[in-house]
Amino acid sequence: EVQLQASGGGLVQPGGSLRLSCAVSGFSSDYFDIGWFRQAAGKEREGISCINFNDGRTFYDTSVKGRFTITRDNAKNTVSLQMNNLKPADTAVYFCAATRSPAEYGPSCYPPVYDQRGQGTQVTVSS
């Protein structure tokens, strides 16, 4: 059984930083795509950053490119998201999700494909 456990959310002022972590278990190999998704109140779920756990290829949504960095630690089976220069628009519930079917040309971060999902953690950016 795949389990994804997210942690690290909280309240931060605009311009601040947070680091989210996702503990991964239940996959029989490293051949999967995994990433971070968020859903703000009244909005659709969006994929913001994803990574191939085997080779490290990444995807970033334009809204976070240059501010967020996704990394994976294969030895510890974790995926992290370093979020810098946070903005009020980044306020949402963040959760990690994965797919057993990695995309051939790099992770798509397309939410319907990522069907293994963990619980969310709230990120609030406010002064």
What are the structure tokens assigned to 111, written together? Answer: 């939410």
Could you read off the pLDDT of 34-58 as tens digits, one per residue?
Answer: 999 999 999 999 999 999 999 999 9
SS3 1: coil
Question: Mean per-residue pLDDT for 88-108?
Answer: 95
Q: Left (φ > 0), alpha (ψ -120 to 50) or beta: where does 39 sit?
A: beta
Percent of the chain with pLDDT strictly greater than 70: 100
What proportions of the chain, in percent to the nearest 5, are helix, strand and coil?
A: 5, 45, 50
CA angle 23, 33, 82 (to 5 degrees): 55
Measured CA to CA, the distance from residue 127 to residue 125 in angstroms comes to: 7
